[in-house]
Amino acid sequence: MKENFIKKYTSMTGGASAAYIEKLLPLIDEIRELKKKHNAVILSHYYMTPELQIEEKEGGIADFVGDSLGLSVAATKTNADYIVFCGVKFMAETAYILNPSKTVLLPDDNAGCSLAESITGEEVRKIKEKNPGVPVIAYINTYAETKAECDVCCTSRNAVKIAKSFESKNLIFIPDKFMGQNLAVKFKTETDKNLILWSGTCEVHEQFRTNIESLTMANPNAELLLHWEVPQETVESTLNKNKGIVGSTSDILNYVEKSSSKEFILGSECDLGATLKGMFPEKQFITPCIMCRHMKLISLQKTLDALKSINTPSQQKYQIQVDEPILSKAYIPIKLMLDLS
């Protein structure tokens, strides 16, 4: 298993010193032992560092690696007593809302989200007052108290499908204005929907502006991989001149798999580039390395610490809790999302 981990880690990172990898291996071994002892699973997001994304079958620690929708689905299917979520707080909240009888641990309780923090439940109520009867779609990147005020949740992967499920022509979409603007362009050709947007943004994706333009000029044969959360003006200016895609993480992975191109420019969180390198080692990914400071708070050591805390007084430091009535109210839009996906 050690050899499998080294091979996978090397493919994802382009190489690492033997001394650094040797430091990781004891942590991985201990984490794997504690997972078995406590009947725990680890869910890891694509934006985690490479050592957290490598699955157990490849010598790593993760039981499932995925995007927000994939992790939400995985959370509903586990029989584990403990879910350790290598992601950020809103993701761990979602896992708990779907599994309130299980214990969900987040390795660092400061792992938040600038986008989720851009709107509150009270602000949703005010939007609804201004637009009576208009359904509210909440991007999964929101906190539980915000989801509790909405009609349905969505991820970047299923937003179009979920919007089409409503009869109403007008829909409120929160909180990402750039994602909403990009979706609105797609809606013009596929639906009759009109989106009423909030002004939230992701502090990572909003930085993809002139750097993408300059990279396309320096790499004219590269195809573009842009996330829905990238500013709409960047999407419009670059995809008008270059081949590529704007979409969800899943869309990006599928696009690369089907493309005959060997060179891509990635407009998303830096460690999605590591994911892509690990999946498609024969292809080159040019990535402006913009990292999510919240995602990078999660580490192997902190994951180990969370597992060590089980059944000790320090467990409370890591444990995610969503209380009633928020728990029941937030479950409704999340469950509807899963039913519609």
How many Cα atoms are found within 13 Å in the side-chain-facing hemisphere of 323? 0
pLDDT of residue 168: 94
Does the model's pTM come out above 0.85? yes
Chain-centre distance for alpha carbon 309: 26
Which one-letter DSSP state was computed for residue 264?
E
Amino acid at 286: I
Cβ pair 68, 140 in contact under 8 A:
yes
CA distance 241 to 325: 50
Alpha-carbon distance of 71 to 45, in angstroms, equals 8
CA-to-CA distance for 320 and 207, rounded, in angstroms? Answer: 30
Half-sphere exposure (CA, 13 Å, Cβ side) for 214? Answer: 6
pLDDT at position 3 is: 85
Q: Which helix (H) or strand (E) holds 123?
A: helix 121-130
CA 147 to chain CA centroid, Å, is 16
- How buried is residue 335: exposed, middle or buried, by Cβ count under 10 Å (0-12/13-18/19+)? middle
Domain coordinates of the chain in residue numbers? 2-111+295-322, 116-201, 205-286
**Which residues pair with residue 197 across a beta bridge?**
173
Tell me, what's the pLDDT at 69?
78
Domains 2-111+295-322 and 116-201 share a fold: yes
Q: Please state, in angstroms and rounded to a whole number, the distance separating the CA atoms of residues 124 and 128.
A: 6
- Environment class of 253 (CB within 10 Å of its CB; exposed 0-12, middle 13-18, buried 19+): buried
Q: Which of 302, 246, 258 is nearest to 48 (CA)?
A: 302
pLDDT score of 200: 96
CATH architecture of 116-201: 3-Layer(aba) Sandwich (3.40)
Enter the DSSP assignment of 23. Answer: H
Question: Alpha helices, DSSP H only, in the chain?
Answer: 2-13, 18-38, 50-53, 68-77, 89-98, 121-130, 144-147, 159-164, 177-190, 210-218, 232-239, 249-258, 270-279, 300-308, 326-340
- CA–CA dist 105, 316 (Å, integer): 9
In this prediction, residue 289 carries a pLDDT of 84
Distance, CA of 4 to CA of 9 (rounded, Å): 8
- Candidates 12, 44, 47, 13; CA nearest to 202 is 47
The CATH number of 205-286, from 3.40.50.10800, 3.30.1150.10, 1.10.20.60, 3.90.700.10, is 3.40.50.10800
Query: Tokens 């409120």 — which residue?
Result: 172
How many other C-beta atoms are found inside a 10 Å radius of the C-beta of residue 315? 16
Q: Over the chain (341 residues), what is each successive 10-residue block's mean pLDDT?
A: 87 81 93 98 96 95 92 90 97 95 97 96 97 96 98 91 92 96 88 92 89 89 95 91 92 96 95 94 92 96 98 97 98 95 81
Q: H or E element: which one contains 235? A: helix 232-239
Token couple for 272? 């999605």
**The architecture CATH gives domain 2-111+295-322:** 3-Layer(aba) Sandwich (3.40)
Determine the residue type at 2. K
- Residue 89's DSSP bridge partners are none
